[in-house]
Amino acid sequence: MIDPRLPCLIGVGQRTVRAQDGDSPEPLELWAEMAEAAARDSGGHGVIDAIDDVSVVFNVSWTYDDAPGRLAERLGLAEGGRHLSGMSGTSSQKMLANAALRIQKGESDLALVTGAECLATRKRVRKRGDSVAWSHAPAEKRGIPFDDPFHPSEVAHEIFRAYMTFAIFDVARRAHLGLSLDENLRQAGTLFAPMTKVAAENPNAWFRRERTSEELINVSADNRLVSHPYPKNLVAIMDVDMASGLLLASHEKADALGVPQDRRIYLRGWCETKDPVYIAEREELWRSVAMEEASGAAMRAAGIGIDDIAYIDLYSCFPSSVNFARDALGLKIDDARPLTVTGGLPYHGGPGSAYLGHSIATLVKMLREDPKAFGMASGVGMHMTNHSYGIYSAQPGELNLPDSAEIQARLDARPRRQIRDHATGEARVAAYSVVHSREGPSFAMAVCDLPNGERCYARGESAALFEAMQAREFVGEAIELEDGGKGVNRIVA
């Protein structure tokens, strides 16, 4: 007998608004549209009116005074749970998991999780010399609710953008494996080229064009370097107009709404973990122990292993996030299974914190067609810090969730490096990157090992340094640091 409180996805919706269709509606209208699309997709009756829990993924396109409250009002809902996420690539799945727990406990019967970004429209409007004037702006300007803080030394060295930090992790892994610079980049192209094929076949993808590995990795005017070793075609695209919606119900509520059994996809296991917040704290910069723990715990909760999963969507903002996940899961580079069901963040599009809504919605469609299969979705938040793994199946089963607090306590007890804000004298490069603008290399950044075992961040602006770092493996190189002022440790030799 199926547990009546067992959570199941009953309806999903997705929409991509393309430039030829005109400007996108504002996020609030897209959220409402996705709720209605997911309700229709469920095949049930009276679904919208039955929603008693609303979760909205934070969006950077427009700030509302009360995003989930305004959506509930727009849909004409009665009182209920109202939730807004922080900014993180794990948000959609994390909110879905939290809604599932509330359903299990009897606090809710039917939950909506939705997200949307309209950054492409905002960009076009700015180019026209205008600005968007969407509804329900807050009385005072609000900051972005990042999941984690930045270390003051990271801010001083300007090491806080994802394309920089994920490049640092990529270089650390490359050096650990002993790969040459060329071979590492070739592997990235080999890894991401199949994603473009998936995107080409996905009507919701932003870039529906299959590309070769060479097109992805060869630097050109249209594929400039962003942050060594990443050219533009290996980097997530955020300037998209996209929306998604997920409806999650208890098994008994799905019955009451008349949702056919073949529309239901069950959450079979999930886990969320965190690596150390600050990059330089991490003893091993080349892997994620928290990924290993989260993925393993999610699969154990579902009673399966990686070989039992037919459909996989690994968070693919940059090659390092995919490679860290592959390493954590034990997936070889020649594994025949595609690593995305959507086309991945650089080709399907990465709508801010809401990408996983598209990942999960696509998995739901695939698992309905293949009801004996399992699917996995993974999310990554902040600087390879927050990790979320979820397992999905059309087959219901007992939900045996892991003890996330115990897992995180074990992770938190692992050794961490101390970060020294100000460092001069000798140091050794632990990982690095060179950041590029449209005009060429702008500055070099490094995580450095100090003689006493501490770590620091460092920065350099020398053309000779740029050339050396991009011509050979610079991890392990001895360097000299001086006080560069304003909290910067400057590489001078």
Residue in this structure with the two tokens 């902040």, named with its chain if needed? 382
Average pLDDT of the residues of the chain: 97
Residue 1: what pLDDT?
A: 83
Identify how many contiguous H helices and E strands the chain contains and give both numbers.
15, 16
Could you state, in order of their start, the residue ranges of all structural domains in the chain?
A: 7-138+238-412, 425-491
Say how far apart CA 315 and CA 337 lie, in whole Å.
15
Say how far apart CA 136 and CA 78 lie, in whole Å.
20
Tokens matching residue 71: 């959506």
pLDDT for residue 333 is more than 90: no
pLDDT band at residue 410 using 50, 70 and 90 as cut-offs? very high
pLDDT for residue 29 is more than 90: yes
What integer is the mean pLDDT of 323-328? Answer: 98
**DSSP state letter for 371:** T
What integer is the mean pLDDT of 294-320? Answer: 98
Say how far apart CA 324 and CA 320 lie, in whole Å.
6
What integer is the mean pLDDT of 7-22? Answer: 96
Contacts of 192 (CB under 8 A, 6+ apart): 213, 216, 234, 316, 319, 322, 344, 346
Q: Say which range, 88-97, 164-173, 329-338, has the weakest mean pLDDT.
A: 329-338
Which of 268, 278, 259, 221 lies closest to 440 in space, CA to CA? 221
Q: What is the DSSP string of 8-27?
A: EEEEEEEEE--GGG-SPPPH
Burial class (CB in 10 A: 0-12, 13-18, 19+), 99: buried
Residue 176: what pLDDT?
A: 98
Residue 50: what pLDDT?
A: 98
> Percent of the chain scored above 70 by pLDDT?
100
- With residue 352 as reference, give the H or E element that holds it: none
Domain boundaries 425-491, corresponding CATH code: 2.40.50.840
pLDDT tens profile 223-261: 999 999 999 999 999 999 999 999 999 999 999 999 999
Q: Do 425-491 and 7-138+238-412 fall under one CATH topology?
A: no
**DSSP state letter for 279:** G
Residue 215: what pLDDT?
A: 98
Topology annotation, domain 7-138+238-412: Peroxisomal Thiolase; Chain A, domain 1 (3.40.47)
Q: Find out whether 275 and 147 touch, Cβ atoms under 8 Å.
A: no
Say how far apart CA 33 and CA 132 lie, in whole Å.
20
pLDDT tens profile 61-73: 999 999 999 999 9
Q: Find out whether 344 and 195 touch, Cβ atoms under 8 Å.
A: yes
Q: Find out whether 303 and 397 touch, Cβ atoms under 8 Å.
A: yes
pLDDT band at residue 380 using 50, 70 and 90 as cut-offs? very high
Q: What is the Cα 325 distance to its own chain's centre?
A: 12
Say how far apart CA 229 and CA 472 lie, in whole Å.
12
Which of 363, 379, 354 lies closest to 31 in space, CA to CA? 354
Residue 26: what pLDDT?
A: 98
